[in-house]
Amino acid sequence: MEVGRLPISASQRSKLIAAGYTTLSSFSSLSPSHLARDLKISDNEAAEIMRVASHSHRLDGSAGGCGTVNGAQTAWDMLHEEEMFPRITTSCEDLDNILGGGINCKEVTEIGGVPGIGKTQLGIQLAINVQIPVDYGGLGGKAIYIDTEGSFMVERALQIAEACIEDMSECGGLLRKDSQACQLKMHPNNILENIFYFRVCSYTEQIALINYLDKFISEHKDVKIVIVDSVTFHFRQDFDDMALRTRLLSGMALKLMKLAKDFSLAVVLLNQVTTKYIDGSFQLTLALGDSWSHSCTNRVILYWNGNERYAYIDKSPSLRSASAPYSVTSKGIRNSASNCKRIKMM
């Protein structure tokens, strides 16, 4: 954090900068008497500056550093940070439960399944749910939707957006939110406007776009989710040099992880399935190979169990392996019909 943002007097600030202290981390590990000697001020004044600095640092919550390594954070700070960002709901309570509340920001989540299982539906639902206002328990953010296959249908997004607004109004009515600020002023067209939709037609376009996202998101800081549908389509063509493909994919994965961490947003990658020859038989596995499986924080597999759709947490550092049923309805992703539970919005 910059010294210029500290709420201290101008003379104190100029003394700090003149002595060479431009960031918080540069003097936060010093003792007050040391700082007093450097700035030629009294011990009390130095202690006051340090107190203000550490208070601002705590409020800011940024990786201001603990003086030891620039950019390091204590685990305690990280826990507080995690609690600051609510998770993005999937509109299906069971699915939210196994995800620990929903899709997490600052993480890359990969979701894969056979065609027709609902990957694009889930992608569109998340692009809409990220826009749920803070008053209703959401993030009030915008979404970036990168479509590589052409599966995004605007009438379906409109249908899901209308259902989401309906659910929110119902919830708002139940909780009797009478204050002006909480009154729902959202219109389905607003929801569509808040989805930044990109269509890419080749792997070079895909990589160029993901490289560009850094600049785009710094200009649109309210983007809170990036969805790539699907991340794998353009990479399944013949690459004469497979090593090139692996390099491109890992470069892309690193970029996406960095985006998630730097801008505190969620990255959701939709993947296809393919068959793999394991132990003498063919089994289903997510496409792009073994090295790609390290590129995501969490991995969710969607599959059919009889006539019901299920989601399974395949890999996660913080969630336990579990599966949950969900269904795709005209309103979007919802609880499976056999469990008639009320959708919780908060």
Site for another protein in 107-126 (CB under 8 A): 114-116, 120-121
Question: Mask 206-235, x = binds another protein (CB under 8 A)?
Answer: --xx--x---x----------------xx-
When the beta carbons of 266 and 270 are compared against another protein, the nearer one is 270
Is the CA virtual torsion 146, 83, 214, 241 positive or negative?
negative
Amino acid 291 reads S
Residue 225, number of CB atoms within 10 A of its CB? 26
164: contact with another protein by CB under 8 A = no
148 secondary structure, DSSP code: S
186: contact with another protein by CB under 8 A = no
* Residue closest to 324 by CA, chosen among 312, 334, 333: 312
199: contact with another protein by CB under 8 A = yes
**What angle, rounded to 10 degrees, do the helices at 43-60 and 10-18 form?**
90
**For another protein, which residue of 139, 157, 231, 313 counts as binding (CB under 8 A)?**
157
103 secondary structure, DSSP code: B
276: contact with another protein by CB under 8 A = no
337: contact with another protein by CB under 8 A = no
- Between CA 301 and CA 314 the distance in angstroms is 6
When the beta carbons of 47 and 248 are compared against another protein, the nearer one is 248
When the beta carbons of 70 and 212 are compared against another protein, the nearer one is 212
**For another protein, which residue of 66, 182, 192, 319 counts as binding (CB under 8 A)?**
192
* Residue closest to 33 by CA, chosen among 17, 45, 20: 45
Contacts of 167 (CB under 8 A, 6+ apart): 91, 331, 343, 345
> How many residues in the chain?
346
SS3 223: strand
When the beta carbons of 13 and 255 are compared against another protein, the nearer one is 255
**For another protein, which residue of 202, 218, 291, 321 counts as binding (CB under 8 A)?**
202
2 secondary structure, DSSP code: B
- The distance of closest approach from Cβ of residue 120 to another protein in the complex, given in angstroms and rounded to an integer, is 5
Task: Give the footprint of another protein on this chain (CB under 8 A).
Answer: 114-116, 120-121, 144, 149-158, 189, 192-193, 195-199, 201-202, 208-209, 212, 216, 233-234, 236-238, 272-275, 282, 284, 287, 304, 306-307, 330
